[in-house]
């Protein structure tokens, strides 16, 4: 087994491994060359937790995704037919992207590219940064072989962000926002030539060519970043935040709120696989100081769709009932608290941690996230089957499972203690692109 294959296997959790095997089998059956690439590979090599699995096929990505959905019943998000790319949501919050290996040609800066099927080598040549332009073969004859035409491995080792070509930002100016985001996420430095290219793009005001759809996607990415507060601060310092919302400047930007939200989110450990709808949560806090008219400016600039707007505008109202419920005396019983919190959405729990000044509400949410939910997740179906004699897969089993979990939780010490945050606090970053321009 190649070293990289071994590293991959030891890096994935059980649910991700299952997703990997499922995609591999489907690609095999369809006779398509399959590669792991982009963020998944970068994060694996650098030793960061793998968030999404990014696959590339030399062939039809959407058709492969559809074949998997047909076989497994898993959910497919709106496919991107232009790029022949689809996202699948596997069990336990595992997100998988399957994309066609493609070449993108830009007639001018920020223009819609012409897209055509390509080999994996051509695909990697078209990517933004060298650390994102590495692929690993998952094909029988060459499984585990690393394809790294731009020496992304070297840049990962040096902890440096470097563009793949001198046209990287000109072709697709949203990549200057990605540069800032990755620099803040990984605390990587930026290669000197890349900094110069950034300067050139800013001098030519090419950031104005970033389309609403690209801004919406970038906002979505920022919302999910563990260091979103630092990213927003840098975008503000660089005069780029107004792209997302013309009124977003000066004391209208809720920097302190974003720092507080960042801290609240650290209570949701990655291993919990708890889905959190980050966009609504992030926008609620980011736009706290904006007037309704100014918020409308953000909706237009980023072409926000209705579900995103609703998630944002309804969150504050939604948590009020939950806060009252969590304060009830019966919530001292772990199983009752667990049952109530299970019904809440991840974003609601995090938002209450951000917003509520009530100590009891705070402690109960932390107890759920840090004690009861992990304890419940440790219980396996086999364990329940053995204890109850009921086989998984029926309504009867689900009922027995709830009773089993409740019993286990109530057997634990009931004393409520203020738990420590389970993840280390976000690092205080040194200025990164701040040397670029002010
Ligand atoms: N990409 C690019 N230019 C863009 C957007 C994406 O070149 N404007 C490429 C990058 O190579 C990236 C891949 O497409 O690795 C997948 O994009 P995305 O999912 O946005 O980024 P990831 O690198 O997977 O990072 P993340 O961890 O944020 O998901």
**To test ligand 1's pocket by mutation, which of 127, 217, 218 has the most ligand atoms within 8 angstroms of CB?**
127
Q: Token match 């430095």: residue?
A: 189
Bridge partners, residue 115, by sequence:
104
pTM confidence score: 0.90
Nearest atom in ligand 1 to the alpha carbon of residue 129 is 11
Spacing, Cα 134 to ligand 1 middle (Å): 12
Q: Is 39 in the pocket of ligand 1 (CB under 6 A)?
A: yes
What pLDDT shows up at residue 437? 52
Query: Which residues, 6 or more positions from 415, have their beta carbon under 8 angstroms from its beta carbon?
Result: none
**To test ligand 1's pocket by mutation, which of 94, 128, 173 has the most ligand atoms within 8 angstroms of CB?**
128
- Among protein residues, the one with the nearest Cα to ligand 1's atom 22 is 39
What pLDDT shows up at residue 271? 83
Rg (the chain; Cα; Å): 23
Q: Is 220 in the pocket of ligand 1 (CB under 6 A)?
A: no
Instruction: For residues 51 and 95, give the distance between their C-alpha atoms in angstroms, rounded to a whole number.
Output: 8
| Cβ atoms < 10 Å from Cβ of 378 | 10
What pLDDT shows up at residue 2? 72
Instruction: State phi, psi for 161 to the nearest 5 degrees.
Output: -100, 125
Instruction: For residues 79 and 208, give the distance between their C-alpha atoms in angstroms, rounded to a whole number.
Output: 27
Query: Which residues, 6 or more positions from 300, have their beta carbon under 8 angstroms from its beta carbon?
Result: 212
What pLDDT shows up at residue 431? 42
Q: Is 52 in the pocket of ligand 1 (CB under 6 A)?
A: yes
Q: Residue 144 burial by CB count (10 A; 0-12/13-18/19+): exposed, middle or buried?
A: middle
Checking phi first, is residue 378 left (phi over 0); if not, alpha (psi -120 to 50) or beta?
alpha
Pair 4, 144: CB distance under 8 Å: yes
Supply 109's token pair.
């800066």
Measured CA distances, 348 to 79, 281, 282, 286, 287 (Å): 28, 8, 12, 16, 17
Spacing, Cα 71 to ligand 1 middle (Å): 27
Instruction: For residues 105 and 116, give the distance between their C-alpha atoms in angstroms, rounded to a whole number.
Output: 9
What pLDDT shows up at residue 425? 47
Instruction: For residues 161 and 60, give the distance between their C-alpha atoms in angstroms, rounded to a whole number.
Output: 31
Instruction: For residues 199 and 190, give the distance between their C-alpha atoms in angstroms, rounded to a whole number.
Output: 12
Q: Is 128 in the pocket of ligand 1 (CB under 6 A)?
A: yes
Mean pLDDT by 10 residues, the chain (438 residues): 85 92 96 96 91 95 96 89 94 91 93 95 97 96 95 97 97 97 97 98 96 96 96 98 97 98 94 90 97 97 94 94 96 96 96 97 97 94 91 91 94 57 44 46
Beta-sheet pairing, 135-137 with 102-105: unpaired
Q: How far does Cα 289 stand from its chain's mean position? A: 26
**To test ligand 1's pocket by mutation, which of 49, 115, 132, 226 has the most ligand atoms within 8 angstroms of CB?**
132
Query: Which residues, 6 or more positions from 180, have their beta carbon under 8 angstroms from its beta carbon?
Result: 231, 234, 235, 238, 240, 432, 433
Instruction: For residues 21 and 31, give the distance between their C-alpha atoms in angstroms, rounded to a whole number.
Output: 15
Q: How far does Cα 230 stand from its chain's mean position? A: 16
What pLDDT shows up at residue 413? 60
What pLDDT shows up at residue 393? 86
């Amino acid at each position: 087994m190649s070293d990289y294959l071994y590293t991959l296997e030891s890096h994935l959790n059980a649910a991700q491994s299952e997703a990997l095997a499922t995609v591999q089998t489907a690609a095999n059956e369809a006779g398509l060359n399959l590669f792991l690439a982009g963020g998944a590979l970068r994060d694996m090599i650098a030793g960061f937790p793998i968030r999404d699995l990014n696959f590339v096929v030399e062939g039809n990505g959407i058709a492969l995704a559809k074949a998997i959905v047909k076989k497994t019943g898993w959910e497919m998000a709106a496919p991107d037919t232009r790029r022949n790319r689809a996202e699948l949501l596997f069990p336990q919050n595992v997100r998988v992207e399957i994309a066609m290996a493609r070449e993108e040609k830009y007639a001018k800066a920020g223009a819609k590219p012409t897209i055509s099927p390509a080999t994996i080598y051509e695909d990697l040549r078209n990517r933004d940064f060298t650390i994102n332009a590495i692929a690993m073969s998952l094909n029988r004859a060459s499984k585990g072989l690393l394809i790294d035409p731009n020496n992304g491995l070297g840049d990962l080792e040096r902890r440096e962000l470097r563009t793949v070509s001198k046209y990287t930002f000109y072709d697709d100016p949203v990549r200057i926002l990605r540069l800032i985001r990755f620099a803040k996420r990984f605390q990587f430095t930026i290669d000197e030539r890349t900094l110069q290219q950034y300067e050139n793009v800013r001098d030519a005001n090419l950031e104005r060519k970033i389309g609403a759809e690209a801004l919406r996607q970038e906002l979505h990415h920022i919302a999910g970043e563990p260091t979103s507060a630092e990213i927003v601060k840098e975008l503000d310092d660089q005069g780029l935040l107004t792209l997302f919302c013309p009124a977003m400047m000066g004391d209208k930007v809720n920097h302190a709120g974003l720092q507080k939200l960042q801290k609240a989110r650290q209570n949701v450990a990655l291993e919990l696989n708890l889905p959190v709808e980050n966009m609504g949560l992030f926008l609620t806090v980011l736009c706290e100081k904006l007037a309704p008219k100014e918020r409308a400016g953000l909706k237009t600039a980023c072409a926000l769709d209705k579900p995103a707007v609703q998630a944002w505008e309804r969150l504050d109202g939604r948590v009020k009932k939950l806060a009252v419920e969590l304060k009830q005396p019966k919530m001292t019983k772990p199983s009752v608290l667990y049952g109530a919190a299970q019904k809440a959405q991840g974003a609601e729990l995090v938002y209450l941690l951000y917003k509520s000044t009530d100590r009891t509400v705070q402690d109960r949410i932390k107890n759920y996230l840090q004690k009861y939910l992990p304890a419940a997740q440790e219980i396996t179906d086999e364990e329940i089957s053995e204890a109850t004699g009921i086989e998984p897969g029926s309504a009867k089993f689900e009922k027995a499972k709830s009773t089993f979990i409740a019993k286990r939780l109530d057997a634990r010490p009931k004393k409520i203690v203020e738990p420590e945050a389970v993840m280390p606090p976000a690092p205080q970053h040194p200025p990164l692109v701040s040397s670029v321009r002010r």
